[in-house]
Amino acid sequence: MRLYAQTPARRNRQVLVDLIALALIATAVWAALLVHETIMLLAEPGRKVERSGGSLAEELGNAGEAVSDVPLIGGVLKKPLRSAADAGSGIADAGVSLQETVSQVADVVTAALIVVPVLLVLLLWLPPRLLWMRRSSTLRRLAEAPGGADLLALRALTGPPGALAARPAPPGGWADAWRRGDRQAISDLSAIALAHVGLRP
């Protein structure tokens, strides 16, 4: 199966469209990753809260352990310090939760910013490319089959008139030459039908 046309003009257009499609996909992925990095900056306060809460919990826990050795009132002093340390751990957990939420939002937004544009590009680009490949393969097989040149000539006669107008017609016109079985006219018409999709005879 042929990927690109044989005629330079059609082939150049196909290559250009393919490069544009790939560039659009690459740009969509790059922009989505940039947005992901930007959103993840919002997780920095969560990291600071986690660090501060963890440090506070550790210091209060150490202080509670230190005052527990004080005679008579050590147990009484340790209890509020232990509660404060637990509150510090809760603050650290809140920081972790904020980071996880920001990360989830960043992942969802990034996925959407990649999937939607890429699908749009693929829907606009891939079907015409696949259709051209199928059509060119069918016409090439038809050209090589017995009687295929006659069918291609008929296709040229019933196709867009611009291609026929660009070539000098035989005496009596293209249709008359085809009806008479003029082999040169049939060969020319077959070449026109193939050239219309970017193929050479």
In a domain, 165, yes or no: yes
Among 89, 107, 132, give the residue marking a domain's end: 132
| Rounded-to-integer distance, Cα 194 and Cα 188, Å | 10
Asked whether residue 178 falls in the same domain as residue 110, the answer is no
| Rounded-to-integer distance, Cα 49 and Cα 5, Å | 61
For 156, other C-beta atoms within 10 Å of its C-beta total 24
| pLDDT tens per residue across span 154-201 | 787 777 777 677 777 777 777 777 787 778 888 888 888 888 888 887
Asked whether residue 56 falls in the same domain as residue 118, the answer is yes
Q: Which structural domain range is residue 108 located in?
A: 1-132
Angle subtended by helix axes 74-144 and 183-196, to nearest 10: 170
Question: How many domains does the chain divide into?
Answer: 2
Asked whether residue 90 falls in the same domain as residue 188, the answer is no
Asked whether residue 93 falls in the same domain as residue 10, the answer is yes
pLDDT of residue 72: 60
pLDDT of residue 57: 66
In a domain, 140, yes or no: no
| pLDDT tens per residue across span 131-163 | 988 988 888 887 788 887 888 877 877 777 776
In a domain, 3, yes or no: yes
Measured CA distances, 146 to 100, 108, 152 (Å): 68, 57, 11
pTM: 0.70
Among 132, 162, 180, give the residue marking a domain's end: 132
Asked whether residue 4 falls in the same domain as residue 62, the answer is yes
| pLDDT tens per residue across span 4-50 | 888 888 889 999 999 999 999 999 999 999 999 998 888 888 777 77
| Rounded-to-integer distance, Cα 127 and Cα 133, Å | 10
Asked whether residue 128 falls in the same domain as residue 149, the answer is no
| Rounded-to-integer distance, Cα 8 and Cα 196, Å | 12
Among 77, 102, 132, give the residue marking a domain's end: 132
Q: Supply angle C-alpha 194, 197, 199, rounded to 5.
A: 50
